[in-house]
Amino acid sequence: MGMWQRISLIFRSKANKALDRAEDPRETLDYSYQRQVELLSKVRRGVADVATSRKRVELQINQLEQQSGKLQDQAQKAISMNREDLAREALTRKSGLTTQINDLRTQHAQLQGEEEKLTLAQQRLQAKVEAFRTRKETIKATYTAAEAQTRINEAMSGIGDEMGDVGAAIQRAEDKTAQMQARAGAIDELIASGALDDVSAVGAGDDIARELDAMSSQADVEAELAALKAGSGPQAIEPAETGGAILQAEPEKESTEGNQG
């Protein structure tokens, strides 16, 4: 097989496959039925045309028969008037009309036979068209039901094109959601561990830190003051007691000196 033959074969196979996918049996059946109806209409017009021709021939035969009868009467009158020449002429013309009438009757018989054949063919074709129409509607209904059932089954099983796209979209959404949840969890863990600072809470963090530092400083001051108070208590008492003893000793010394004097 040559290269061009192979290319032609591939092209025809591809085109045939594409046509198979694009073809809708219901549309094909409707088109076939339409063509049959058109053919039936042509046959009916043919029958009507033949019947019209037959009727025209019948009218011509009737006219010629009337003329022939008239010539016969004229010939008889010419004989009664001893005009044999006129009678002969009338009969001669009558003979010519008779020949025409016979030819027209032959044509009439042929047209009548054709009309009968066409009428019978029309009846048969009409019966076939009606049978095809009934079968067409049955096939279309069956195909539509099968198509609907197939779509329902595909939707339920998720193997259809549209449901497959929906399933893929759901899967992508679930994957993105899981990825975002994992990212959020990882960031929370990093913030909790201190590896990342919460940038959005910088201002609030500074205020809290300052407040905590102030409270810590105040607590330290209070603790230190309490410690000082606790440490300075005994030292403050001893000077007070010593000072008192001294104050008490000096009067005694003065009294002693007074006594000695």
The amino acid occupying position 57 is V
Cα separation, 191 vs 186, in Å, equals: 9
In a domain, 209, yes or no: yes
Do residues 47 and 119 touch, judged by C-beta distance below 8 A?
Answer: yes
Nearest Cα residue to 56 out of 112, 113, 94:
112
Residue 164 lies in a domain: no
The reported pLDDT for the residue numbered 163 is: 58
Closest C-alpha among 58, 53, 47 to residue 105: 58
Specify the pLDDT at position 36. 92
Answer whether residue 129 is part of any domain: yes
Structural domain count of the chain? 2
Residue 94 corresponds to which tokens in the numbers above? 């009558």
Which of 125, 157, 189 terminates a domain? The answer is 157
pLDDT for the residue numbered 259: 46
Domain assignment of residue 2, yes or no: no
179 in any annotated domain: no
pLDDT at position 210 is 67
The token pair at 39 is 């053919």
- Quote the pLDDT of residue 246: 40
Report yes or no on 233 lying in a domain. yes
Measure the CA–CA gap between 71 and 93, rounded to whole angstroms. Answer: 7
Query: For residue 69, is it within any domain?
Result: yes
- Same domain for 233 and 125? no
Own/partner contacts of 21-27, CB < 8 Å, gap of 24 or more, are 25/139, 25/140, 25/143, 26/139, 26/140, 26/143, 26/144
| Residue range of the domain that includes 239 | 205-255
The reported pLDDT for the residue numbered 225 is 78
Q: What share of the chain is helix, strand, coil (3-state, %, to 5)?
A: 95, 0, 5
User: Which residues of the chain register pLDDT less than 70?
Assistant: 1, 5-23, 157-167, 194-213, 232-261
- What is the pLDDT, as a whole number, of residue 48? 93
What pLDDT is stored for residue 249 in this prediction? 42
**Among 38, 46, 24, residue whose Cα is nearest residue 129:** 38
